[in-house]
Amino acid sequence: MSKPYKINNIEIEINNDDDIKSTAAAATKKKKNATTTKTKVSTKTTTPLTSLTRLAWTLTTAFILICILIELSALSSSSLHLTSATATATNDDDDGFDENDGEDDKISSDKSESNIATGTSTAPTTTTSNNPTLPQQPSSSSSASSTKDHDATALTDSDSYKSSFSMNEILQLKPSDLPPPFLFNDFGSPTSISIDVENENENEIKQSKEEEKKEETTTTTTTTGITKIIKILPGSIMQQNIAASKELFESKLYVLPDFMPRDTVKEILTLLRGHENMTIANGYQSIALNEDPDPVDAMTSQRIFLDDDSNNRSPKQSTIEQIQLRQKLKLLMDPYKDIMTLFLRKWYSDKCGKDNRKCTPCYTFLRRYRGGERRGNVPHHDSMSYISVVISLSDYDTEYQGGLYVSSKNSERNYIKLNRGDAVVHQWDLHHGVHVLDENIHGDTSERWSWIFWTRDSDTCDDHSKEWYKDCADDGNPSCMYLRATNEGTDEGRIKWNEKASNAGDALASVKLGYAYLKLLPSDIVSYDVKKAESLFLKAIRSSNEPDGHYALASLYLKQVTHQIQNSISMIKEQNNGDDRQIKMKIMDVLKKGLISPKLINAIGHLEEAAKCGHMFAQFNLGIVHLYGYGRSYRSGDGNGNGNTDPNMAGMWFEASGLPEGYIVKSMHSNSIGKKEEAESFQQKAYTLGYGSPWRQMARERAGSGGSSGAKLNLQWPPIPSGQIPQEF
Ligand SMILES: O=C(O)CCC(=O)C(=O)O
Ligand SMILES: [Fe+2]
């Protein structure tokens, strides 16, 4: 229920009791600080009627009332270092089966590796925007040759990989400007292989054979058993590299069209959501998905493991109904898991077809993506899965748009058009991620289900991953070097391999090293060095337009602007000894200039570049930019600084971020403009994704932006002329 709430004489409306508590706590804390203040610059708290809506929105979201510039000298440079040190201490990723996935403590138990190594291993960039690809997407992305060309051109094209910005270049970008998904279409000639299905599977396969006959016969019976013909569309994509590199590495992927019959998919979907038809199911799901935080992005994981109960971390999973439901699913799905296993062992026979090192699915699970809820999976390597399989249970266009993409680097995405029953098979070296657009082609909420296998090159699921990256790292493959760093047991080893990867052109390795130099990732062997960090972030941008590089640079510049402002204020106070009026005027002047200082403008430019690539933290912070008026010349307007903000644009970016924090602020916006129903819906989305849960904030600190675990959502924005600073989430 909506309740009015008063903080520091400002009445705001908040929908949720928890919010009230946390807001009140924040206000009390800030108030405490304020009482110790010697010099105060008062903030207007009166509300001119003409801009009531805007102010309500601003205040509801900006309710941090550092209305008063407090004891600014206390916020000295040492506090900046302290922040870094604290961040370092909390940056403690899990390491897991997936490079970006830390749920499996059994598999990788060494949490002490969670510094620069696991930070690195935790996977490149973040997903999520309405339309996430870059404007400069290559025209024919994914073939080895076309991507090669693209890289070479882009590296010499300073306009497309920008590293500095002027005032007239920023603030125009809207989520709707981001281009639609670019489809991967560079497949080689189709081929097929036949699989002799073992007798033990015969009955189940026979059953599926009957279903397939209705569509297209891909199964034939022989005297010895059943032969299944598997159609294969081979594809490949360049790996991240430096243009100057002599040797170029590529990753392969194979699409198996119609691997699973549509009728079987229908039955599975009916079990999963009550009806195979998405519109009729209307978002309902009959299976309880895991509600634990996904270690990659610290949002509710929304998946369900089919094989091993210990991986299902939602208490609801233990109900009899849920267990029975999973058994029914397994009955339908296991035959296809078996066929896939036979296929993998034959197709990759040279790699994992022999002895006790046969390809074995060790984890299989379902993921659900839905517009307005979990929409994706940040770009990553499945660094702990020798071969991965994704089987789509949803149709492209009619049920979802976007979905699984492959990429050479985090700033580009090539989506694979997958329909119900289509499978994709790839090895750990393929860089990929998922982003489902909010709407399908009919303009309804998108929904995509996928069935994923993570396999190992071991009959008994032993972890041999250390072997996978070793030789190719020695051979100079940047992705292998980057992944190898995650397997190193010492700080020296991790730094060494990240440095090698960075030098060989792996942009994320550069960003990780940059964070290490800022002491935002723990490392004993690199010392605090801002210049070095900045040059590493720039290197990542120049080589790959790395979104996490842009974000890291924005974050560094904002810290520097804030620090500069704090220093100026300290000086003003010293030089105007006790003359409150003078002090107030001069401080106001400093804050106005701060809004448009070149570094701040640059920071916004970098946030926009990162946002174009789907960087969720950057998109959220663009919401902050438009809500508080950063990057715009201060116009006194109604006396409150209103008039140089754009709350609607802010709302769009908060929503586009797809973050629970973005949804909660969007909900406040909707509330403030009287759209109660919309407000409730966004609030619900925020909670579904983990907002207000006991784990979200801490898990987010560990996960960072997904791409980089040194990244923080709360950037150090300087105070605006009214004295406010954005609320921290
Ligand atoms: O859902 C998908 O299509 C892929 C998910 C994925 O990449 C993963 O879970 O590692
Ligand atoms: Fe993956």
Please state the three-class secondary structure of 606-642 as a single string.
HHHHHHHCCCHHHHHHHHHHHHHCCCCCCCCCCCCCC
**Given 3-state DSSP classes, what are the helix, strand and coil percentages for the chain, each rounded to the nearest 5?**
45, 15, 40
DSSP output for 332-349: HHHHHHHHHHHHHHHHTH
End-to-end CA distance of the chain: give it in Å, rounded: 22
Give 116's pLDDT tier (boundaries 50, 70, 90): very low
725 lines ligand 1 (CB under 6 A): no
Residue-level pLDDT at 453: 95
Angle value at C-alpha 87, between 82 and 90, nearest 5 degrees: 130
State the distance from the centre of ligand 1 to the C-alpha of 590, rounded, in angstroms.
Answer: 48
Residue from 388, 396, 401, 428 to probe ligand 1 pocket by mutation (most atoms less than 8 Å from CB) = 388
Of the candidates 234, 460, 470, the residue with the CA atom closest to the CA atom of residue 359:
460
74-98: pLDDT as tens digits: 222 222 222 222 222 222 232 222 3
Please choose, from the candidates 33, 153, 162, the residue with its C-alpha nearest in 3D space to the C-alpha of residue 723: 33
- In angstroms, the Cα distances linking 471 to 351, 366, 454, 458, 481 are 14, 33, 22, 19, 10
Q: What pLDDT sits at residue 46? A: 25
Greater confidence, 477 or 209? 477
> What is the amino acid identity at position 318?
S
Mean pLDDT of all residues in 35-64: 32
DSSP H or E segment with residue 235: strand 226-238
Q: Is the CB of 452 under 6 A from ligand 1?
A: yes
Per-residue pLDDT tens over the stretch 328-347: 999 999 999 999 999 999 99
Q: Which of 126, 289, 364, 404 to mutate to test the pocket of ligand 1 (most atoms within 8 A of CB)?
A: 404
Distance (angstroms) between ligand 1 centre and the Cα of 377 equals 7
In whole angstroms, give the CA distance from residue 664 to residue 697.
14
Report the alpha-carbon distance of residue 42 to residue 36 in Å, rounded: 14
Check residue 322 and give its pLDDT: 79
CA-wise closest residue to 222 among 204, 207, 208, 206:
206
Query: Angle at which helices 491-503 and 507-517 pack, to 10 degrees?
Result: 130
- Ligand 1 centroid to residue 376 C-alpha, Å: 8
Is 98 a pocket residue for ligand 1 (Cβ < 6 Å)? yes
Q: What is the pLDDT of residue 644?
A: 84
In angstroms, rounded to a whole number, what is the distance separating the alpha carbons of residues 244 and 504?
Answer: 9
pLDDT at 373 > cutoff 80: yes
Query: Is the per-residue pLDDT at 265 higher than 60?
Result: yes
- Report pLDDT digits (tens) over 127-151: 223 322 223 343 333 333 333 333 3
Question: Phi and psi dihedrals of 154, rounded to 5?
Answer: -60, -35
568: its two tokens: 């100026």
Query: What is the pLDDT at residue 451?
Result: 98
CB of 434 shorter than 6 A to ligand 1: yes
Residue 60 CA to ligand 1 centre (angstroms): 37
State pLDDT tens for residues 493-522.
999 999 999 999 999 999 999 999 999 888
Ligand 2 geometric centre to CA of 615 (Å) = 18
CA angle 660, 432, 454 (to 5 degrees): 95
Greatest Cα pair distance in the chain: 100
For tokens 């009919």, name the residue: 442
Gap from CA of 424 to ligand 1 centroid (Å): 10
Mean pLDDT along residues 37-43: 29
Least confident of 77-86, 159-168, 170-179, 588-597: 77-86
Q: Please report which confidence band the pLDDT of residue 384 belongs to, taking 50, 70 and 90 as the band edges.
A: confident
* Residue 404 near ligand 1, beta carbon < 6 Å: yes
Residue with tokens 């097929």: 192
The sign one gets for the Cα dihedral 155, 161, 164, 167 is positive
* pLDDT given at position 321: 80
Q: How far, in Å, is the centroid of ligand 1 from the Cα of 168?
A: 39
Helices (H) and strands (E) in the chain, counts: 23, 16
Whether 382 lines ligand 1, by a CB cut-off of 6 Å, is yes
Shortest-distance ligand to the CA of residue 297? 1
Predicted complex: ipTM over 0.95:
yes
Contacts of 239 (CB under 8 A, 6+ apart): 248, 249, 250, 251, 408, 429, 431, 477, 478, 479
Q: What are the pLDDT digits (tens) for 440-473?
A: 999 999 999 999 999 999 999 999 998 999 999 9
In this prediction, residue 611 carries a pLDDT of 97
Q: What is the pLDDT of residue 124?
A: 27
**CA 550 centroid distance within chain:** 15
The predicted model gives 556-562 an average pLDDT of 98
pLDDT at 243: 57
* Average pLDDT score over residue span 296-314: 79
Q: Quote the pLDDT of residue 104.
A: 33
Judged by average pLDDT, the poorest of 35-39, 300-304, 646-650 is 35-39
Our answer on whether the CB atom of 131 is closer than 6 Å to any ligand 1 atom is no
426 in ligand 1 pocket by Cβ < 6 Å?
A: no
Q: Which two tokens stand for residue 670?
A: 């909707």
Residue 487 CA: distances (Å) to CA of 89, 114, 262, 382, 729:
21, 11, 41, 14, 33
**Number of C-beta neighbours around residue 315 at 10 A:** 9
Give the pLDDT score at 13.
27
Does the pLDDT of residue 593 top 90, yes or no? Answer: yes
Is the torsion defined by CA of 600, 126, 669, 8 positive or negative? negative
Mean residue pLDDT across the chain: 77
Cα separation values, 72 from 87, 140, 567, Å: 22, 53, 8
User: Which ligand minimizes its atom distance to the CA of 418?
Assistant: 1
Name the pLDDT band for 110 (thresholds 50, 70, 90): very low
Helix (H) or strand (E) holding 183: strand 182-183
**Distance between CA atoms of residues 660 and 662, nearest Å:** 5
> Is residue 56's pLDDT more than 60?
no
**What's the gap in Å between 386 CA and the centre of ligand 1?**
14
User: Alpha-carbon Rg of the chain, whole angstroms?
Assistant: 26
pLDDT of residue 245: 62
- Residue 262, CB-side half-sphere exposure with 13 Å CA sphere: 12
pLDDT tens column, 271-286:
999 999 999 999 999 9
Residue 308 pLDDT > 90 = no
Q: Exposure of 281 by Cβ count < 10 A (0-12 exposed, 13-18 middle, 19+ buried)? A: middle
Question: Which segment of 34-38, 409-413, 574-578, 606-610 scores lowest on mean pLDDT?
Answer: 34-38
Instruction: Report the alpha-carbon angle 176-179-184, nearest 5.
Output: 145
Residue 229 has a pLDDT of 95
- Looking at per-residue confidence, does 295 or 298 come out higher? 298
Under a CB-based contact definition with an 8 Å cutoff, are residues 438 and 371 in contact? yes
DSSP assignment, residue 439? B
pLDDT number for residue 296:
80
Phi, psi angles (nearest 5°) of residue 238:
-65, 145
232-256+273-463: which CATH topology? Answer: Jelly Rolls (2.60.120)
Q: How far is the CA of 632 from the centre of ligand 2 (A)?
A: 40
Whole-number pLDDT of residue 127 = 27
pLDDT of 309 reads: 66
Give residue 316's pLDDT band: very low, low, confident or very high (50, 70, 90): low
- At 200-245, the pLDDT tens digits run 454 444 445 444 444 444 555 445 578 999 999 999 999 987 655 6
Domain range list for the chain: 3-87+547-703, 232-256+273-463
Pocket test for ligand 1, best of 425, 432, 448, 453 (most atoms within 8 A of CB): 432
Reply yes or no on whether the pLDDT at 383 is more than 90: no
DSSP calls for 549-589: HHHHHHHHHHHHHHHHHHHHHHHHHHHTTT-HHHHHHHHHH
**pLDDT the model gives residue 709:** 77
Residues 625 and 604: their CA atoms lie apart, in Å, by: 8
pLDDT of 613 higher than 50: yes
Two tokens at 697? Answer: 């904030």
pLDDT-derived band at 199, boundaries 50, 70, 90: low
Is the predicted pLDDT of residue 41 greater than 60, yes or no? no
Predicted local confidence at residue 636, as pLDDT:
61
From CA 419, how far away is CA 376, in angstroms rounded? 17
The predicted pLDDT at position 355 comes to 86
Show the tokens assigned to 349: 């026979």
CB atoms within 10 A of CB 211: 16
CB of residue 392 inside a 6 A radius of ligand 1: no
Task: Tell me the average pLDDT across 27-55.
Answer: 31
Helices of type H across 439-529: 465-474, 478-486, 491-503, 507-517
Using CA atoms of 81, 83, 89, 91 in order, give the dihedral in degrees to the nearest 10.
Answer: -120
Q: Whose CA is nearest to atom 3 of ligand 1?
A: 404
* Cβ–Cβ under 8 Å, residues 285 and 272: yes
State how far the Cα of 127 lies from the Cα of 412, in Å rounded to an integer.
11
List the residue whose alpha carbon is closest to atom 7 of ligand 1. Answer: 433
Residue 40 pLDDT = 32
Q: What are the backbone dihedrals phi and psi of residue 343, each rounded to the nearest 5 degrees, phi first?
A: -60, -50
For residue 163, name the pLDDT band (cuts at 50, 70, 90). Answer: confident
Atom 10 (ligand 1) nearest CA: 382
Residue to probe by mutation, ligand 1, list 429, 452, 453, most atoms within 8 Å of CB: 452
pLDDT at 654 over 70: yes
Query: Which residues are CB-contacts of 404 (< 8 A; sequence separation ≥ 6)?
Result: 390, 392, 415, 416, 418, 424, 432, 433, 434, 450
Edge-to-edge order in the sheet of strand 414-415: 182-183, 414-415, 402-406, 432-436, 376-380
**Run of H or E including 290:** none
**Confidence grade of residue 246 (pLDDT, cut at 50, 70, 90):** low
In contact, 390 and 451? CB cutoff 8 Å:
yes
Residue 713 has a pLDDT of 96
Average pLDDT for 343-366:
93
- Cα of 692 vs centre of ligand 1, distance in Å, is 26
Distance CA 519, CA 87 (A): 8
Question: How far is ligand 2, taken at its centre, from the CA of residue 144, in Å?
Answer: 21
Going by their DSSP bridges, the two strands 414-415 and 182-183 should be labelled as parallel
Q: What is the DSSP letter of 416?
A: -
**Mean pLDDT along residues 163-169:** 90
Give the count of alpha carbons within 13 A of 200, CB side only: 4
Share of the chain above pLDDT 70, in %: 71
Q: Which atom of ligand 1 is nearest to the CA of 424?
A: 3
Ligand 1 atom with the smallest distance to the CA of 303 is 9
